[in-house]
Amino acid sequence: MTKIGILGGTGALGAALAGRLAKAGHEICIGSRDPAKADRVAREIAAASGGSISGAGLIETAEGNELLFITVPYAAHADTLSQVRDAVQGKIVVDATVPLQLPKVGTVQLPAAGCAALEAANILGPGVRLVSALQNIGAEKLASGQAIDADVFVAGDDAAAVEVVQELLSQLAIRSWHVGPLANSAAAEALTSVLIQLNRRYKLVQAGVRITGERKDAPR
Amino acid sequence: MTKIGILGGTGALGAALAGRLAKAGHEICIGSRDPAKADRVAREIAAASGGSISGAGLIETAEGNELLFITVPYAAHADTLSQVRDAVQGKIVVDATVPLQLPKVGTVQLPAAGCAALEAANILGPGVRLVSALQNIGAEKLASGQAIDADVFVAGDDAAAVEVVQELLSQLAIRSWHVGPLANSAAAEALTSVLIQLNRRYKLVQAGVRITGERKDAPR
């Protein structure tokens, strides 16, 4: 059981993640700029999932938990990270942010730093164990509790932190891959706009990706 | 039957593509900076595939064919496009270039323009019907002639040109998706470094991706 904070946990992805992690037995705190809203959403999710979920402000959530997810909209990304920077030093921070730019969310528009995860690294500094994950899983799918027919890319330079995150995801029945250094979060972030396009063009319900390819030692 | 030129057709991807397109009944010309090498490789592939394949220089290939693929290494990308710019005006050009930067080919390092396809658009100008495709299919897989357990992303702003390319790919038994505007080539280009990482880390034989997601009108 890990004490997990979800900064931006009142949003669709954050709330879905909170419910799924609580069901898996973790103690969850939802962090929001609006602590009253965080508390209300926490109670709703706790009622639905039966797990241990509380709500608090951003800094309080960052201070009181061992591992933090960031599930804020891109417009609030830099500001949220700046607020919690001191409180998350030494901790594992899992950034799920996709740099979607309104109104063209279906067009890849990565930031000058390369991707949102590298922007986060610049803000948080080298003392934070930063991992990028969960850019390509729809909130509905995650909230449904059903099996997820899509893989998650996990990018990060801290191999032990990546392993912790992959273990958490496997507890949620999500297959994940370590896709390389934090810079490779660019692939997952860009893919989100592609999936938005595919949902529209091909009328798919929450498109995702699966990795294919046989293992070299597999029998032929 | 289409007259197709492959600029960079002496490389692994270009040669594999030439063989597979020739088998599908198209008339192929391999274009290279070294016309003698192009001619030699063309004869080798023709012997193996039994199709109609010739070799020529870059500009001659660009001038003499209706549709062109670009399969050059990134280091030769801008120079090759500049050379053939005049010869390809009004034609469909399919860019398969991935901006891999040696030695870190497993790290996403997209160019400042956003992706190699947008760089190509800047060089070729608005008179070329530019499409991006085939960044994520291994040359070995393509050359094998076997079924390919991976999807191809096709990006482009000219819907009719995208449709022509998707039809060509379907003739090669390759499933493809129109993933949106040319800018979305960034996702496919970034994905290549991820697939390189996965081949290494998980010892996969030419990792690829498949799109998942039910159609909205599918029976539940």
Give the pLDDT of residue B54: 97
Nearest residue in chain A measured CA to CA from B179: A194
B59 min Cα distance to partner chain A (Å): 32
- pLDDT classification of A220: cutoffs 50, 70, 90: low
Q: Report the predicted TM-score, pTM, of the whole model to 2 decimal places.
A: 0.96
- Measured CA to CA, the distance from residue B187 to residue A50 in angstroms comes to 38
Question: By C-alpha distance, which of A121, A76, A96 is closest to A17?
Answer: A96
ipTM, 2 dp: 0.95
Of A112, A181, A193, the CB nearest to B180: A193
Residue B171 has φ and ψ, to the nearest 5°, of -65, -25
Percentage of chain A surpassing pLDDT 90?
91
Q: What is the pLDDT of residues B107-131, one digit of tens each?
A: 999 999 999 999 999 999 999 999 9
Give the pLDDT of residue A216: 81
> Could you tell me if A185 and A130 are in contact, meaning their C-beta atoms sit under 8 angstroms apart?
no
Residues of B in contact with A184 (CB under 8 A): 106-108, 190, 193-194, 197
Give the pLDDT of residue A176: 98
Check B208 against A206: CB less than 8 A apart.
no
Of B115, B198, B213, the CB nearest to A207: B213
Residues of A in contact with B149 (CB under 8 A): 212-213
The average confidence (pLDDT) of chain A is 96
B151 min Cα distance to partner chain A (Å): 10
**A45-49, A206-210, B195-199: range with lowest mean pLDDT:** A45-49
Give the pLDDT of residue B50: 86
Asked whether the predicted pLDDT for residue A170 surpasses 90, the reply is yes
Asked whether the predicted pLDDT for residue A150 surpasses 60, the reply is yes
Give the pLDDT of residue B187: 98
Residues of A in contact with B183 (CB under 8 A): 107-109
**Residues 6 or more apart from A9 whose CB is under 8 A from it?**
A15, A17, A18, A28, A29, A30, A31, A32, A38, A41, A42, A55, A61, A69, A71
From residue A175, alpha-carbon distances to A47, A164, A168, B43 in Å are 27, 14, 10, 45
Count of CB pairs separated by less than 8 Å, A with B: 150
Check A110 against B217: CB less than 8 A apart.
no
Give the pLDDT of residue B220: 52
Nearest residue in chain A measured CA to CA from B138: A213
Check B212 against A207: CB less than 8 A apart.
yes
Nearest residue in chain B measured CA to CA from A220: B205
For A112, which DSSP code? T
Check A109 against B183: CB less than 8 A apart.
yes
Secondary structure tally for chain A: helices H, strands E: 8, 9
Structure-token pair, residue B134? 């085939």
From residue B11, alpha-carbon distances to B112, B125, B206 in Å are 26, 26, 17
Give the pLDDT of residue A217: 78
Asked whether the predicted pLDDT for residue A61 surpasses 90, the reply is yes
- pLDDT classification of A69: cutoffs 50, 70, 90: very high
Asked whether the predicted pLDDT for residue A42 surpasses 90, the reply is yes
Check B207 against A201: CB less than 8 A apart.
no
Check A213 against B204: CB less than 8 A apart.
yes
Q: What is the pLDDT of residues B163-220, one digit of tens each?
A: 999 999 999 999 999 999 999 999 999 999 999 999 999 999 899 999 999 888 766 5
Asked whether the predicted pLDDT for residue A139 surpasses 70, the reply is yes
Pairing between strand B27-32 and B52-57?
parallel
Percentage of chain A surpassing pLDDT 70?
99
The average confidence (pLDDT) of chain B is 96
> Could you tell me if A186 and B199 are in contact, meaning their C-beta atoms sit under 8 angstroms apart?
no
